[in-house]
Homo-oligomer: A and B are copies of this chain.
Amino acid sequence: MKDYREMSREELLALQKETQEKYEEAKAKGLKLDISRGKPSAEQLDLAEGMLTVIAKNEDCYSDAGEDCRNYGNPTGLHEAKELMAEIMGVTAEDVIVCGNASLTIMFNTVSRSFTHGVMGCTPWSKLDKVKFLCPVPGYDRHFGVTEYFGVEMVNVPMTPEGPDMDLVEKLVAEDESIKGIWCVPKYSNPQGYSYSDETVRRFAALKPAAKDFRIYWDNAYGIHHLYEEEDRQDKILNLLDECKKAGNPDMVYMFASTSKVSYAGAGISAVASSPANLAEIKTYMGYQTIGYNKVNQLRHVRYFRNLEGVMAHMMKHAAIVRPKFEAVWRVLERELGGTGIGSWTTPKGGYFISFDALPGCAKAIVAKCKEAGLVITGAGSSYPYHKDPQDSNIRIAPTYPTMEELETALDVFVLSVKLVSIEKLLETR
């Protein structure tokens, strides 16, 4: 296809007319589509139906250790649930605390605790004039939301296909004691689907932060969320907990994971893995905060999935549903925008998102144009702290939730919107 940027004013005007007509046709259908959130589809959720009744009788409610999971107690989670989450996270059961249905809650509580009680004897953040977090961008809006809510100043760090710009990360954490953390989605990152290289992980483990209470918030949300079954088409990353230990920085990382996109997005189980010293702080906090998380639900997960093998078999059923949707996105984008120079996109091997970069200054207008035609996509800028994309170019595509048919229709609207907004932008300078 011809590069739009090389077209004459006349060519662009002709293309605009033609595209506008198609857009009006699509708009006239009165669509109501949503590809804004990384939510599993009903078809995916249906896969775990057996979990609903795997605990069916009173006598099913006891853990291997004989605990009555219906009753109070064991706030750090069932041992067998720790084992399951440990396998998923590539650590041992002793490294793990299992919590409720949202790993976001563990992250929020960790930030909150750092504000009220401090980290390992350091001054509570609420007593400091300034607290900063590094935010690889584009990134996960809910991470940035947590730190924004607590008044943390967020500092952008550019992402690369190998992970965050580590030169910058190393420099900033070494020279600024007010930098207390960094948000990371190390595998199939949100929204680009990048996986951190071994060198990146090792450089994280070897960081020399000025702040003793600096922590890496390692949200491995998509650690086992591959699109392909073939091992050579699956990304692998190093285990940061191991690497931190080796590098003599055992306490520098909190790892998070959940089964939100394994079992149920709203009714799974979550976990944090960390050093004994960090876990001890979390346990103390939890000892006051809860009488224990829902252990019946933990037991449901263990009895249904049994072990990592069971989980991975289940993940391949997800992949069979999700992969065609990713492929449909790539097919349409390539067919409609390939060679036009008005958009580029990522082609991850897993995760929940495709990151799309429009011409600078176009993202907000594209999102608005989509909305006008009945398609909701993630707000432009959402992948940046304070919702401020300095380039106004990044758009997150979440293909999993709609049906294939809805997705195809949504993509039609999307590419038409990209074309219209881009043509308008290009015409400004013609």
Contact = CB atoms under 8 A, between A and B. Distances in A.
B58 A266 contact: no
A420 interface: no
Interface residues of A, number: 58
A40 B288 CA distance: 20
17 contacts: A40-B71, A45-B68, A49-B57, A52-B61, A52-B296, A53-B56, A71-B264, A72-B265, A101-B292, A102-B292, A105-B290, A116-B116, A146-B289, A260-B291, A266-B291, A266-B292, A266-B296
Nearest to A72: B265
A70 interface: yes
B45 A70 contact: yes
A104 B292 CA distance: 10
Contacts of A53: 52-53, 56
Interface in A265-312: 265-267, 285, 287-297
Given A70-B267, A266-B294, A267-B297, 9 more contacts: A39-B71, A42-B58, A52-B296, A71-B264, A101-B292, A105-B290, A116-B150, A266-B296, A294-B297
A297 to B, nearest CB: 7
A69 interface: yes
Interface in A131-167: 142, 145-146, 149-150
A119 to B, nearest CB: 15
Contact of A116 (B60, B112, B264, B289): B112
B296 A267 contact: yes
A68 to B, nearest CB: 6
Contacts of A5: none
B265 A101 contact: no
A111 to B, nearest CB: 9
Contacts of A52: 53, 55-58, 60-61, 296
Interface in A59-89: 60-61, 68-73
A429 B115 CA distance: 53
A127 interface: yes
Interface of A: 37, 39-40, 42, 45-46, 48-49, 52-53, 55-58, 60-61, 68-73, 100-102, 104-105, 108-109, 112, 115-117, 124, 126-127, 142, 145-146, 149-150, 260, 264-267, 285, 287-297
Nearest to A47: B58
Nearest 8 pairs of A and B residues by beta carbon: A126-B126, A267-B296, A70-B264, A108-B289, A149-B288, A45-B70, A267-B294, A72-B265
B60 A296 contact: no
A71 B266 contact: yes
Contacts of A116: 112, 115-116, 126, 150
A69 B116 CA distance: 33
A297 B51 CA distance: 13
A266 B145 contact: no
B265 A291 contact: yes
A100 to B, nearest CB: 6
Contacts of A124: 126
Contacts of A56: 52-53
A285 B146 CA distance: 9
Contacts of A55: 52
Given A57-B52, A116-B112, A37 B72 contact: yes
A294 B100 contact: yes
